[in-house]
Amino acid sequence: MTDNDKTPRKRTRPTITDQEALLFHSRGRPGKLEVVATKPMTTQRDLSLAYSPGVAIPVLAIAEDPSKAYDLTVKGNLVGVISNGTAILGLGNRGALASKPVMEGKAVLFKRFADVDAFDLEIGTEDPDEFIAAVRYLGPTFGGINLEDIKAPECFIIEEKLRELMEIPVFHDDQHGTAIIAAAGIMNALQLTGRDIATARLVCNGAGAAGIASLEILKALGFRDENVILCDTKGVVFKGRTEGMNQWKSAHAIETPLRTLDEAIAGADVFFGLSVKGAVSAEMVRSMAENPIIFAMANPDPEITPEDAYAVRDDVIMATGRSDYPNQINNVLGFPYIFRGALDVRATTINMEMKIAAARALAQLAQEDVPDEVAAAYQGARPRFGRDYIIPAPFDPRLISWVPAAVAQAAMDSGVAQRPIVDMGAYKAQLSARRDPVAGALQRTVERVRRYPKRVVFAEGEEEQVIRAAVSFVNQGLGTAVLVGRDERVKETARQVGLEIDGKSGIEIHNARLSHRNTAYAQYLYDRLQRKGYLFRDCQRMINQDRNHFAAAMVALGDADAMVTGVTRNFSVALDDVRHVIDPKPGHRVIGISLVLARGRTVLVADTAITELPSAQELAEIAIEAAGVARRLGYEPRVALLAFSSFGHPPGERTAHVQEAVRLLDQRRVDFEYDGEMAADVALDRELMTQYPFCRLSDAANVLVMPAFHSASISTKMMASLGGSTVIGPLLVGLDKAVQIVPLGAKDTDIVNMAALAAFNVGG
């Protein structure tokens, strides 16, 4: 959708029945939370360490130095989600107990989006003093307090007093969460309409918690007091008004002759709605300034629907609180990540500087090209920065590294951080790893490639996800990207998806047919294949018309450092193309290795792509190659040669092959730990391994050599599909040049990861 297309794109809203909702919360274990132990609890020794007598040691350490609680307990990653149920969603005052499903849901969102642990607490009182007294003494338990669903004006009193009394962040999300997300959207909407924040006129209808907080952050961003009008159910909040006033409304009262919302909104640039359904009429929209910005955020139904607004104005930018319209003001974009950043620097509060930093980070992220994960959430309709995309999608995986880092930096700059972050780049990598195990596993790889950028050929350069991957590769500072394809086709595809690569530093387009190097490449290929039934014209055609051959020739003749392919062809087909051009590295074996990431462990599995039924000699070579890969990735290899049996029982033909492979490794005197044959559970479980005291491995294996290609492929694909594990690969190793082949139809993020691995393996 172009920026000039004003027709609202209404997404399909999920429909649920009352019975489905009740069943979701009641089936299996009631509720949405459980406690999971993070330390082993399988032996008497484990229990002794976890509780008595071992627990006495951390008790004494914390008594001597209270800051040790952050190192020895969950406090530093624990938030209390607390409510009295006086303003539950759009349902009003339903009581503390009725708020529990919402608070549990909030806790789940903390964990899902930012890996923050959270417990819900429902306080059975509507008296602000009693509520404050109940919460103020919880500081030793939590690293932060998230107040939720508390009605105004009590919520202002409660938050303000608790912030004074507690030395940990206290944050009322209904106020500040909505304000921060909306502020991000406003910054982008102002940019798109060419407005200056210092002169823009804004009307806010709704003087509750979110409305007041929104005006505070908007004014901190640059809106001037005289250009901002607050309205409530009594009309305009003006200086001298006495009816329905309180100290929080009075802070935003201005000198004005306007008395009604209708009068105030006429000529306004921006409308902020945090009130009720139907508060804004079509006539009000018609009276606004050119290119009006309307944030109708009442839930569940907005002050005016996008359809009604567009019916009278085709130049409007709309945002609502609903997921079935573009530009949803969704608090999940804020609170998990704001607390993540605050907790990581042990901030004593969440101040205005941190809120503004979060808003700016969100606004900037919305302007970035979105990855495939976001497009998938939009049913394949990839959004791009413009009138219908001024706020990031909640499922954008980059939120975890953008927002907390900005919040943490602001906390440090404003002096409220007790544990400053020294290396912000490393911190961002750690943040990404919390949501994406692949990011953690590849952190060392990416860092090294950034230090030594490479020239990588993306063979299928006309494909949309490949172009996106190339742009991301360059933007991440990993090197130069060479797209193989027809110049106009590549540029047109890029333009269609909102990317501009004309003259873009670090991206080149090479047309194989028109390249001045194709004669040299064809001759090189002919020299290799002339005794295998190929004529020169065959080789010329392969170079001119097949991008894999052209890309591989670029790498073989030193015109590029590495290549990545596979999006449009099966692994084996792509590998055959590449092997026409590139040989195995002398003394090495070409194999496929998959990295399995599960429960904090990384295990390499080989061979998952090349050798179908390896002999004993081939198994030994696979083990040596896999151990070398483990070392290059930063792991000290402990290699287990797997079978269906463990150390001779039960015997079998494949078992004999594995036993012979171990003897061959003995003869080679290799410099890594290895043993076999053993079953997978024995190889991966240290406790089971102790049943075989003669086993040579010092700990659970981190490299598994499978007895056959089919068992390796089946097992890794099962782990990836069943969940609980992430599988990278198979990685192609053993070739004389750096080449990686992605799975058919790979996403852009997968292509970037494989390109980084290819660059990492240059010369390796």
For the chain, report the end-to-end CA distance as a whole number of angstroms: 44
Buried/exposed code over 35-44 (b: 16+ C-beta within 10 A; e: otherwise): eeeeeeeeee
Q: Which two tokens stand for residue 623?
A: 């083990």
Classify residue 226 by burial, with Cβ atoms within 10 Å: 0-12, 13-18, 19+.
exposed
Flag whether 149 is marked binding.
yes
The single-letter code of the amino acid at 342 is A
Of 106, 249, 428, 454, the catalytic one is 106
Helix (H, G, I), strand (E, B) or coil at 237: coil
Q: Mutual orientation of helices 173-192 and 209-221 as an angle, nearest 10°?
A: 40
Q: Is the Cβ–Cβ distance between 335 and 171 less than 8 Å?
A: yes
Strands 293-296 and 270-273, sheet pairing: parallel
Flag whether 129 is marked binding.
no
- Residue 663 parent element (H or E): helix 653-668
DSSP 531: G
CA angle in degrees (0–180, nearest 5) for 209-215-216: 90
Helix (H, G, I), strand (E, B) or coil at 698: coil
How far is it, in rounded angstroms, from Cα 69 to Cα 75?
7
Flag whether 28 is marked binding.
no
- Hey, which residues does 507 pair with through a beta bridge? 481
- Hey, which residues does 728 pair with through a beta bridge? 595
Flag whether 764 is marked binding.
no
Flag whether 95 is marked binding.
yes
Nearest to 80 by CA among 31, 23, 145: 145
How far is it, in rounded angstroms, from Cα 587 to Cα 186?
61
Flag whether 148 is marked binding.
yes
Q: 3-state DSSP: the chain helix, strand, coil percent, rounded to 5? A: 45, 15, 40
Flag whether 92 is marked binding.
yes
Q: Is the Cβ–Cβ distance between 599 and 437 less than 8 Å?
A: no
CA atoms lying within 13 Å on the CB side of residue 241: 26
How far is it, in rounded angstroms, from Cα 564 to Cα 755?
6
DSSP state string for 123-185: -----HHHHHHHHGGGTTT-SEEEE-S--TTHHHHHHHHHHHH-SS-EEEHHHHHHHHHHHHH
How far is it, in rounded angstroms, from Cα 676 to Cα 696?
9
Flag whether 130 is marked binding.
no
Q: Which two tokens stand for residue 674?
A: 């290895």
Q: Is the Cβ–Cβ distance between 388 and 414 less than 8 Å?
A: no
Flag whether 93 is marked binding.
yes
Q: Is the Cβ–Cβ distance between 97 and 124 less than 8 Å?
A: yes
Hey, how many other C-beta atoms are within 10 angstroms of the C-beta on 202?
24
Nearest to 404 by CA among 332, 472, 343, 328: 343
DSSP 324: T
Residue whose tokens read 């250009």:
227
How far is it, in rounded angstroms, from Cα 178 to Cα 217?
11
Nearest to 219 by CA among 235, 242, 202, 205: 202
Reply yes or no on whether 106 is catalytic: yes
The single-letter code of the amino acid at 494 is A
Flag whether 299 is marked binding.
yes
CB within 8 Å of 728: residues ≥ 6 apart: 438, 441, 442, 594, 595, 597, 753
Q: Residues marked as binding for a divalent metal cation?
A: 148-149, 174, 299
Q: Residues marked as binding?
A: 88-95, 148-149, 174, 299
> Which residues are catalytically annotated?
106
Q: Residues marked as binding for NADP(+)?
A: 88-95
